[in-house]
Amino acid sequence: MKHLSPRRIFYTFGKKYVIDSLIFIVFFLFFFGPLLNTAMLIFAERYQAPHLLPTRFGLQWWCYILGQPELLQVMLNSLLIALIATSISLVICLPAAYAVARLQFKGKSFFLFSFLLTNAFPKIGLYTAIGILFYRFHLMGTLTGVVIIHVLNMLLFMIWIPSGAFQKIRIQQEEAARDVGAGPLRTFLSITMPIALPGIAVAAMFSFLGSLEEAQGTLLVGFPEVKTMATSMYGMILDYPPMAGAVFSVLLLIPTVIILLVCRKLFGKGILSGGIMM
């Protein structure tokens, strides 16, 4: 044990090394310890109080969760809502993003201001405000209502990032296409669009992922008629044994991981860091 005394380690490896390692350990335990613990729990069958590790491993809880007929419906709901909302917001936001990036028009700053307002108003307050209106128009508990909420969440993102991508395209490239006789639409489709595609893809990806994990708005507007994986997770955490929650967490994470990997493969490593800031 003499070799393991802290002072000995400190002087053997040097001050910098020890501090570096300490920071790394603290960081890793705080941010990844809980996640690793969850990763362990998905294979647990019995996990009772005094034991740090599960006393019996197995896949019993997977069978339990996957055996629920409701779950498949919930997963489908989640994917469907995310898909519809992302497509709608692409159709609505891309033209606006282009206009903001390239064209001058009156009321541009007012337009931008109204989008920032979306983010300034507390989300939960906005949801209740919309909820009151939804009751009046009978949109409460409908798929349409939930999709509207999800599209609203994507707005800022879908306008800000693609408009940045459009702005980065050199205007001469478009002009060159126009000079050789391409119409405005063709220029857009075969010059502007391909260059801006990575930025648009990032925005779409983040919107899709955001929609998958959106819980509070769906809970407020759609529950109990429209259930997504995220809203079911509330019940899982509050009412079920810990292992069920762990399995469900992993199910919730799987689409995220797949999409991130695919996007990284398609558009390269740096693609992710751009969107993180939002």
Partner 1 sequence: MNDGLNDDLNDQLNGSLADNLKAELEKNLRHECDSVNSNTAAAEPEVTNDRTSTTTTTLTLDATTEPAIGSTTNAVSATANAGSHASHTASHARPISARRRLVKLWGQRCLPYLLTLPAFLLVMGFIVYPIGNTFLRSFRDGKTQRFTWDNYRYFFIDPLQRDNFAFTLRIVVATVALAMVLGYGLALYLHFSPSWVSRWLRSLTVVPRFVPGLVATYSLIMVIRDAGVLNRLSRLWGGNFKPGLMYHESGIILMNLWYNIPFVTLIMLASLSALKPASIEAATDIGAGKLLILAKVVLPNTFKEILIATTFIFMGNVGSFTTPFLIGGNHPKMLGIALFDQFNNYVNYERTAALSVIMFLICSLSASFYIVNNLRQRQ
Q: How many chain residues touch partner 1 (CB under 8 A)?
A: 106
Give the bridge partners for 46, in sequence order. Answer: 56
**92 counts as binding partner 1 under rule CB under 8 A:** yes
Among 1-9, 17-25, 62-70, 77-85, the segment contacting partner 1 (CB under 8 A)? 17-25
> CB-wise, 8 or 168, nearer to partner 1?
168
Question: Considering the rule CB under 8 A, would residue 10 count as an interface residue with partner 1?
Answer: no
Q: Which of residues 71-90 bind partner 1 (CB under 8 A)?
A: none
Quick one: tokens of 95?
């033209």
Contact track, partner 1, 134-163, x by CB under 8 A:
--------------x--xx--x---xx--x
Cβ neighbors of 201 (< 8 A, separation 6 or more) are 263, 266, 267, 271
158 and 207 in contact (C-beta within 8 Å)?
yes
261 burial (CB, 10 Å; 0-12 / 13-18 / 19+) is exposed
CB-nearer residue toward partner 1: 60 or 235: 235
Query: 197-226: which residues touch partner 1 (CB under 8 A)?
Result: 198-199, 202, 209, 212-213, 215-216, 220
Tokens of 250: 């992993």
Q: Which stretch binds partner 1 (CB under 8 A): 3-11, 55-63, 68-76, 195-203?
A: 195-203
Q: Closest CB to partner 1 among 66 and 124?
A: 124
**SS3 readout for 52-103:** CCCCEECCHHHHHHHCCHHHHHHHHHHHHHHHHHHHHHHHHHHHHHHHHHHC
Instruction: Find the shortest distance in angstroms from Cβ 46 to partner 1.
Output: 14
Residue window 222-261: x/- pattern of binding to partner 1, with contact defined by CB under 8 A: --------x--xx-xxx---x--xx--x--xx--x---x-
Q: Cα–Cα distances in Å, from 6 out to 19, 21, 27, 29?
A: 12, 13, 20, 20
Three-class secondary structure of residue 260 per DSSP: helix
Residues 102-121 binding partner 1 (CB under 8 A) are 102-105, 108-109, 111-121
